[in-house]
Every structure is written in structure tokens, then in C-alpha cells.
Amino acid sequence: MSIKKSFLESKWYYRVGKVFFWAPPLLLIAFVLLTDWQTYYDFFQTGGNIFDITSFYVILAVISYLIIVSIFWQVFLYVVFGGLENDTKPKVVPAAPVAQSVPTADGSAAVVNYLKQAEQKRSEAVTWIILIIIFIWIAVYYSGTPSSYTTGTTGGTGSKTSTCISTGCGSNWQCSGTYYSSSGSQKSLSGCYTDANKTSVTSLNSWSGICRKCP
């Protein structure tokens, strides 16, 4: 017999566990976005490779953690209790009596209950899948932008397509991002740099940003 959600919600340690499950990851994502917002703003404005942003891996790890732990939790409930029945939602009373809701000897009521739980789990799974697809699509879409404006090195000449967005730096690199100084304080940086200076910029302590070249 499946365990009821109202029963779990009545336990203080379950509620505390939910807070510790959701609060730290969401607070961490909010902290990353607030401290590194300029980098993401530049990314969505001018494009680039999102995997060059160091803090993006933190967000990716947090989302993966939430998904993986949620899956393990659902598997645990299914193996130990036979699933989780969400009895906290208000039940809709039909205008006319439904024959399937009447318990009978052949167990039709149990079948209906099982189908409702299966439908609920399927809806939750579909929601997660849609969110993951949207997240991956955004990352791939914007990560595909660099090929349109990054200059090549073949034969010492650069190439650009009609989708190239000028940086205003001519043949130099336009870099913007954040880094940490020797004193531990976070500093922002944005400007035009030569090839040699661009290497120095990306080698800064805990550098997180984007460098792009498009005359």
C-alpha cells in the first residue's frame, strides 16, 4: 500500500528535510547569478560559449543534484512503500456517481487508484523532461553562436559570417567577466585586449567570463 503524502507532511523531520533539500541549492543558484550577473548578461547579449563560464558548471551541478536526488527519492518510496499517494490535493466530486469509484470484489477501485497515481507520476516526469529539454536547448543555442563570430587561425586570416556581432575592438579581443584579486575581493573586467593580453586576462585568479573577436 502506498504511503500518503499527508502522513509525511505531518512529520517535522520530513518538513525539515524538504527545506534542507530545496533551500541550499536554490540559494546557491541565486548567489551565483547575483555575483556573476554581468557575465551572463554579456553572454545573452553577445553570445559565446556558455561552457567557458566557470559558474555555469555550478548551476549545472545543482540542477543535476536536484534531479538525481528526486529520482532516487521516488524509487525509494516505490520500493519501500509502493509509491507516494498525493492525498493533499482537493478531490473533485463528480456530479454523477462513477461506477469505478465504488469498491467491488474484483478490485476495480484499486485499479482506478493505481491509474491515478501512475498518471500523476507521468505528469511529473514529463514536466522534468520538458524543463531539461528547454535548459539544454538554451545552452546549445547560445553555445552555437561562437562559430559565427570567432576568427579562425588558418593561414593567419580570420573569418566571419553575416551573423557576426561587432565587438568594437577591431582585430583585438573583447573580454568581459569577473575575477578575484589577491585580497579575495571580486572584481569585474571589460575591455579590448591583444592576443597576449587576452591570455593574461583568462589566466586571472578564478576568471569567469567571455572573450570574443569580431571586427
Name the pairing type of β-strands 186-193 and 173-180: antiparallel
Tell me: the pLDDT tens digits for 128-185? 777 777 777 666 665 554 444 444 333 333 443 445 677 778 788 888 888 888 888 8
Mean pLDDT over each residue of the chain, to the nearest integer: 73
Cα three-residue angle 21-24-29, rounded to 5 degrees: 120
Q: What is the pTM of this model?
A: 0.47
Tell me: the pLDDT tens digits for 178-205? 888 888 888 888 888 888 888 888 888 8
How many of the other CB atoms lie within 10 Å of CB of 172?
A: 17
The continuous run of DSSP H or E covering 209 comes out as strand 208-212
